[in-house]
A and B are shown apart, each in its own frame.
Chain A
């Protein structure tokens, strides 16, 4: 893990796997909030969008 982000909800440091891609979803290991990797260079995280009615498979 060569990248580290910060949870926007609780502030804990989160290590990101080397193969992390833009748009990937993460869950904060401390507070459980869903996060989205919105950029890799520079690394930015945002709170993931709320589930919508037509989400799914």
Chain B
């Protein structure tokens, strides 16, 4: 690979180490770009920047906001990124993700949005208890609330309005799916669903960051088709698709993640996801140099 590759990162998680090891093993040269130290000149600001020398940058930031704005500025300078800004902007916002999935006719849980506690309470009662309240931006199962009755709804809505930033008064309300003590995390890289895991937990929140246990999930043609449709709907790239299993409706796409964590999924599935990420990077590099 003759092009200049940068890895934009915050702290180094196991996933970054695995990707770096795979790059080194293949002899791919790259630079590490710490998002806490770098300055991003916007396009009209003619400041010298080493950033502008890169042909391709893999985004691995921990903060969604930093990733989003960095990707926008890099794209403005004509630098190709993995993933692209458009994908990050959709996947980093649950409301925009659901909207994109809806437009592509990808099956999702029923979801409503309201902007005041009063209208949110009405919306919850229309959906029917229990419902799940989620912040529009957030990950790792953080700040999710399963609301079982009106009294809990009133309390949580008030707390979100009074204690939260304005983002928490954009009430994203989803029907609760009585899933079978597990959900599915599928990994899509480019045009392929490379592997998937069940995340099993006795708790209704099944994120592995919250203690969910990973087990291999076979990829059926139906699951593959759904994952690829979801990936296309949000702009494609390297993605983690979260899927719920509903007894009546089958698979429902819950969320899509754009800076995937996969430390628990390599041994579980037998698929070296870091290697597949590097395959994707090298393919993007080949496209740029031919």
Contacts and interface: CB of A to CB of B under 8 A. Distances in A.
Interface of A: 19, 21-25, 36-37, 48-49, 51-57
A21 B165 CA distance: 35
B62 interface: yes
Contact of A24 (B11, B142, B257, B258): B11
A23 to B, nearest CB: 4
Contacts, number: 59
B11 A57 contact: no
A23 B9 contact: yes
B21 A19 contact: yes
A37 B76 CA distance: 33
B11 A48 contact: yes
Contacts of B259: 56-57
B34 interface: yes
* B contact patch SS: loop
A57 B137 contact: no
A38 to B, nearest CB: 10
A49 B240 CA distance: 25
A49 to B, nearest CB: 7
* A contact patch SS: loop
B21 A25 contact: no
A17 to B, nearest CB: 10
Contacts of A49: 11
Chain B CB count within 10 A is highest, among A19, A25, A55, for A55
B137 A54 contact: yes
B53 to A, nearest CB: 21
Contact of A56 (B12, B139, B165): B139
A9 B135 CA distance: 33
B223 interface: no
A13 B139 CA distance: 33
B143 to A, nearest CB: 8
A21 B17 contact: yes
A10 to B, nearest CB: 21
Nearest to B260: A57
A11 B257 CA distance: 38
B13 A57 contact: no
Nearest to B256: A57
B20 A55 contact: no
B64 A56 contact: yes
A55 B139 contact: yes
Contacts of A22: 12, 32
A36 to B, nearest CB: 6
Contact of A23 (B32, B92, B261): B32
Nearest to B66: A54
Contacts of A21: 12, 17, 20, 32
Contact of B140 (A23, A48, A56): A56
